Structure 1
Amino acid sequence: MNIQWDADRYAQEFAFVPKYGEALLALLDPETARTVLDLGCGGGALTERLRAAGYTVCGMDSDKGQLAAARRAHPDIRFFRGNATDFSLETPVDAVFSNAVLHWIDRERQPDALACVFRALRAGGQFVFEMGGAGCGAQIHAALRQAFERRGLAYRVPFFFPTVGEYAPLLEAAGFRVTFAALFARPTPLAGEQGMADWIRMFVRAPFEALPAAEADEIIREAVEDLRLRLYQNGVWTADYVRLRCKAVKPA
């Protein structure tokens, strides 16, 4: 997970990411969680929601731009830089909260991330998270794959989108006890006439890294037109999101 984000554009055009993550807050048990780490905090919108709910919270992210934006917007919260697959805390926390982060981590590195979270929690601590789940963006990635293959190019989905059956064993192998897990569709409206093209450019970067800009633009145009009949209605683009939402506990 080594993405350089345009923090201002992310906050303006993709505010749905933290907005939808607010529902995840209900999974935290305030009776047993006072200190919380927001893992992959981005611009700090959900970190602030946690603080407003009464938690003592800090935020961690790997992106300098996002951290700078978070510190500007929320100067009373501590934010620090760290990698989700290789971090440690001086003092364990009661809960780790994470929204829209874990699907950016390759399957092979998931055990590393979960081991870090496990160590960061006190005994009895909670890990509450949401990530992309199996089938997330399936129509979008199928359209991109077809556009790539028409040019003799290979396309690999640059995310890890697991089922409950795939992810629960990873949590258990890390030492967690899974107390809640749900996989659900969450169609997500995108902003503006260029919403789908903007989404692809913001989030689907790795497959385009070796391509000339003109060819990348052509592929995106083709994919968007292919998707228009299915994901564009009444002037609004909708991404075919699927989410995996879980709560796991570190045994006391």
Structure 2
Amino acid sequence: MNITWDEESYENNFSFVHHYGQEVLELLDVPSPARVLDLGCGNGALAQALHERGYEVVGLDDSAEMLVAAKEAFPHLSFVQGNALDLAFEEPFDAVFSNAVLHWIDEEDQPQLIRSVARSIKSGGQFVFECGGYGNARLIHGALAKSFAVRGFNYQVPQYFPTIGQYASLLEMSGFKVVFARLFDRFTPLRGDDGVADWIRTFQQKAFEGMSEAECEEIIREVADVTKPELYVDGTWYADYVRLRMKAIKVDE
């Protein structure tokens, strides 16, 4: 996961991430009080929502900046810094919940990620998550690829956006049974006059590594202009999101 988070900017411009995460919580139906790990908890908003449902929550994130904000906002909750690829808790959880995180893990590391999650869940426990799915932000990524190419650069999408079949196979190989899976479009409103430009600056940092600031801004502005006819509607910018929402049960060993 190679990205630096500005928590204040994230909350001001992209709070929709945890707002939409409230919908994912509805898939989690382990009886409370149960121990739940919020994997990639960010600023702690969804960990608090889990707490309000009666769960004993531990929030884990690898961003020190986000965890500072989480601990300040929700001092009654437990937050730890850690790597999702190497979870090391003494006691397994009844469920692991994750929202808008798994696509940040490189494709080659996904099997290790799921094995790590599997080790952290009790037999019969639930893994409930939503992440970017196949085709996510296709218009934006396509425009970025073209702008990179005309300047002699090769654009690589920094995230992993799987199909249902791809991710179901990974889950099954690590001892999970998939009980719910949905891949769906979600045309998502962005805040501010620079919605798409700010989205690129926040979420696509890795793709611009090695470029000058001037080159980055030129490309970002060009992409905003190119995508505006489809992504700027009635005075609001949108991201052409596709989301993958799944629930899997760890099979008894």
- For normalisation by structure 1, the TM-score amounts to 0.98
Residues 112-151 of structure 1 correspond to what in structure 2 (within 5 A)?
112-151=112-151
Change (3 A) 1:105 1:33: farther
The 10-residue stretch of structure 1 (172-181 or 30-39) with the greater mean CA deviation from structure 2: 30-39
Residues 82-231 of structure 1 correspond to what in structure 2 (within 5 A)?
82-231=82-231
CA distance in 2, matches of 1:100, 1:223: 23
CA distance in 2, matches of 1:4, 1:230: 29
Contact conserved, 1:99 with 1:130, CA < 8 A, in 2? yes
| Structure 1 residue 31 displacement after superposition | 2.6
Q: Name the SS of the counterpart of 1:241 in structure 2.
A: strand
Contact conserved, 2:33 with 2:54, CA < 8 A, in 1? no
Unaligned runs of 5+ in 1: none
Contact conserved, 1:100 with 1:132, CA < 8 A, in 2? yes
| Structure 1 residue 168 displacement after superposition | 0.3
Contact conserved, 2:39 with 2:98, CA < 8 A, in 1? yes
CA distance in 2, matches of 1:149, 1:2: 23
Identity of aligned residues (%): 52
Tell me the C-alpha RMSD between the 2 structures. 0.9
CA distance in 2, matches of 1:88, 1:95: 15
Pair 1:61 & 2:61 matched: yes
CA distance in 1, matches of 2:146, 2:214: 18
CA distance in 2, matches of 1:182, 1:233: 26
CA distance in 2, matches of 1:13, 1:228: 18
CA distance in 2, matches of 1:138, 1:126: 30
* Count of aligned residue pairs for this structure pair: 252
CA distance in 2, matches of 1:67, 1:112: 24
Unaligned runs of 5+ in 2: none
- For normalisation by structure 2, the TM-score amounts to 0.98
Pair 1:241 & 2:252 matched: no
| Structure 1 residue 78 displacement after superposition | 0.4
The 10-residue stretch of structure 1 (3-12 or 45-54) with the greater mean CA deviation from structure 2: 3-12
Structure 2 letter corresponding to 1:196:
V
| Structure 1 residue 30 displacement after superposition | 3.1
Deviations 1:175-204 (A, max 9, x none): 111111110001100001111100000001
- Tell me what 1:42 maps to: 42
Contact conserved, 2:182 with 2:245, CA < 8 A, in 1? yes
Contact conserved, 1:135 with 1:242, CA < 8 A, in 2? yes
Structure 2 letter corresponding to 1:231:
L
Q: Which runs of 4+ in 1 moved over 2 A?
A: 30-33
Structure 2 letter corresponding to 1:183:
L
Change (3 A) 1:32 1:78: closer
CA distance in 2, matches of 1:109, 1:196: 28
CA distance in 1, matches of 2:94, 2:139: 39
CA distance in 2, matches of 1:23, 1:205: 28
| Structure 1 residue 79 displacement after superposition | 0.1
| Structure 1 residue 88 displacement after superposition | 1.6
| Structure 1 residue 118 displacement after superposition | 0.3
